Each structure stands twice: as structure tokens, then as C-alpha cells.
């Protein structure tokens, strides 16, 4: 009886796993499959196997410009968010307990806040700075980078903070006792140990920026700046999503998959080296 129950339990676990993985990956596999299809719409005949959508992708200047803007905004804001978030996480970590609790909570407001509220806040701030303060600012790619940096920095703090709690506090003190200043100790002792968390924070910040629509759409008002998300939305409203999006989505998926595999392989290799040293 116990053996039968164990077998049934194992089957149930595998069945749930298969259902979950299918729900996650089936849409992605559909995009990949139809990126090589000559069919103009999904749902009918698959058509012939072809690379025509990839050719059209590199001939579609508007879509390529949107992809370029997405990468510029995403990579720049992710770098800035990683630098600011790591610095903030270190500062918060060494605060007094009560102050730390207040600042830590305040830094996470944009995480729990509705994105539409944050987007409108940035929109009104831009209008105020431009019209009331008379600063030379406008709705452009720089403003979008600032907005994306602000909304992704708290996620970097959330990623780096747990790693800081695992560090040996004596290492930083020992470094300063040996004559290294606070900044040098931070760069040479602490940052190498935070590298994994910083890479994870950077990847999360970049993904959030890549995926963002609400803040980008509202804060690109009148600037004619498109990212992939706003380009797709505009296409849906006017004449439908261009078929080249299938090819672009496939390229993004493959690149992310390769980066993830390489990152995990390097991490596994480093973990094995660390265990051997121990």
C-alpha cells in the first residue's frame, strides 16, 4: 500500500511539473516555431519553413530603431541601477537598526507601488521641471533612462542586501586595520564577494527595463521614441503586430537562454572551486 502511494505521489509530482513547464514554455516555443513560418497569421496552416521574417526584421528600420532604443535604455539604466543599488545596499547595511528599518522600507516604495502611479509621478515631475523651474529637460531618451533607473534600483537593493548579510564583517575591519581606506576596502574586499549578487541585480534590472511598457509609454509623450513594447502596442492599435516581431522575440529568447546557461555554468564551476579550497 505504501509503495503504491509513493508511486502515485511521484506520478502526481511529475504530472504537475510537466503541466507547469508546458504552461511556461509552450508560448515561447510557439513564437520560435512560427518565426520560421511563411504563414501570415498564427492558427491556420503552418506554411513553408523560411527565414523570410528574419530578413524582413533587418529591413524594418522602425522596429530596429525600437530595438536599439530598448537596448540603450535597458543597458544604461541597468548599469546605473546596479551601481546605485549596490552602494545604497552597503550604506543601509551599516546603518543603525532603527534607521536601517526606516530607510530600507522607504527604498522599497516603488516596488510595491502601482506602476501607473509611478509613471504619472514622473510625467508630472517632467512638466514641473520644464515649465515651472524652467530646466532644459524634455521627454527624451535621457528622461526614460532616469525613470527606468529609479524604478529598477530598489530591485538591485533587494538582490544585494541578502548577500551582504552573509559576508564576514571582520574582513572589512581587517582590511582597514591593515591600512586600506574605506573606499579601497569596499572595492578590493567587499565588491568581489558581491559580484554574483550584482550580476543578478543587473540582469533583473535589465529584464524589468526591457519588459516595461507603462512608464515608457507615458514618459515618451510627444518624443516619437519607441521601444519594443510601445512599438508592439502601437502596431496592435493601428494595423496589427508586424510578423517580424516573431523573429525579434526568438532572437531575444535565444540570447537570454544562452546568457542564462553560461552564467549558471560559470557559477557552478566557481562553486566547485570554492568547495575544493575549503
Angstrom distance (rounded) from CA 266 to CA 108: 31
Model pLDDT, residue 108: 85
Task: For each of the domains in the chain, give its residue range(s) and CATH number, in order of start.
Answer: 61-241 (1.10.3720.10)
Model pLDDT, residue 276: 62
CA proximity to 113, closest of 15, 217, 215, 42: 215
CA proximity to 221, closest of 133, 118, 119, 132: 119
Angstrom distance (rounded) from CA 47 to CA 35: 11
Which residues neighbour 71 within 8 Å (Cβ) at sequence distance 6 or greater? Answer: none
Model pLDDT, residue 1: 54
pLDDT values of the chain reduced to their tens digit, one per residue, 278 residues: 567 777 778 888 899 999 999 999 898 999 999 899 888 777 767 778 899 999 999 999 988 999 999 999 999 999 999 999 999 998 898 888 888 888 888 888 888 888 899 999 999 998 998 888 888 878 789 999 999 999 999 999 999 998 888 887 777 777 777 777 777 877 788 888 888 889 889 989 999 999 899 999 998 877 788 899 988 888 877 777 788 889 998 998 888 888 888 877 777 776 676 566 55
Model pLDDT, residue 2: 67
Threshold 0.75, pTM exceeds: yes
Which residues neighbour 59 within 8 Å (Cβ) at sequence distance 6 or greater? Answer: none
Angstrom distance (rounded) from CA 142 to CA 149: 11
Strand ranges (DSSP E) for the chain?
none
HEC profile of 237-261: HHCCCCCHHHHHHHHHHHHHHHHHH
Model pLDDT, residue 88: 92
Model pLDDT, residue 188: 81
Model pLDDT, residue 119: 92
Strand partners, 49: 37
SS3 assignment, position 49: strand
Model pLDDT, residue 23: 93
Phi, psi of 204 (to 5 degrees): -65, -45
Amino acid at each position: 500500500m505504501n509503495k503504491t502511494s509513493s508511486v502515485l505521489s511521484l506520478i502526481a509530482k511529475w504530472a504537475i511539473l510537466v503541466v507547469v513547464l508546458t504552461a511556461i514554455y509552450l508560448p515561447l516555443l510557439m513564437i520560435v516555431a512560427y518565426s520560421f513560418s511563411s504563414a501570415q497569421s498564427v492558427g491556420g496552416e503552418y506554411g513553408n519553413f523560411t527565414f523570410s521574417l528574419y530578413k524582413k526584421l533587418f529591413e524594418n528600420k522602425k522596429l530596429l530603431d525600437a530595438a536599439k532604443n530598448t537596448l540603450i535604455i535597458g543597458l544604461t539604466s541597468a548599469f546605473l541601477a546596479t551601481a546605485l543599488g549596490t552602494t545604497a545596499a552597503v550604506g543601509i547595511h551599516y546603518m543603525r537598526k532603527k534607521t536601517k528599518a526606516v530607510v530600507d522600507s522607504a527604498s522599497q516604495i516603488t516596488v510595491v507601488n502601482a506602476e501607473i502611479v509611478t509613471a504619472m509621478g514622473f510625467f508630472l515631475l517632467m512638466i514641473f521641471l520644464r515649465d515651472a523651474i524652467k530646466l532644459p529637460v524634455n521627454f527624451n531618451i535621457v528622461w526614460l533612462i532616469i525613470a527606468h533607473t529609479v524604478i529598477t534600483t530598489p530591485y538591485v537593493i533587494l538582490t544585494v542586501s541578502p548577500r551582504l548579510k552573509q559576508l564576514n564583517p571582520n574582513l572589512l575591519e581587517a582590511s582597514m586595520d591593515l591600512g586600506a581606506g574605506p573606499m579601497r576596502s569596499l572595492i578590493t574586499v567587499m565588491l568581489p564577494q558581491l559580484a554574483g549578487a550584482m550580476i543578478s541585480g543587473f540582469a533583473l534590472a535589465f529584464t524589468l527595463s526591457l519588459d516595461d511598457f507603462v512608464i515608457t509609454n507615458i514618459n515618451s509623450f510627444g518624443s516619437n521614441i519607441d521601444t519594443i513594447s510601445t512599438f508592439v502596442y502601437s502596431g496592435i492599435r493601428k494595423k496589427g503586430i508586424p510578423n517580424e516581431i516573431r523573429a525579434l522575440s526568438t532572437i531575444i529568447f535565444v540570447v537570454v537562454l544562452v546568457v542564462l546557461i553560461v552564467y549558471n555554468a560559470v557559477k557552478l564551476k566557481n562553486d566547485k572551486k570554492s568547495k575544493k579550497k575549503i
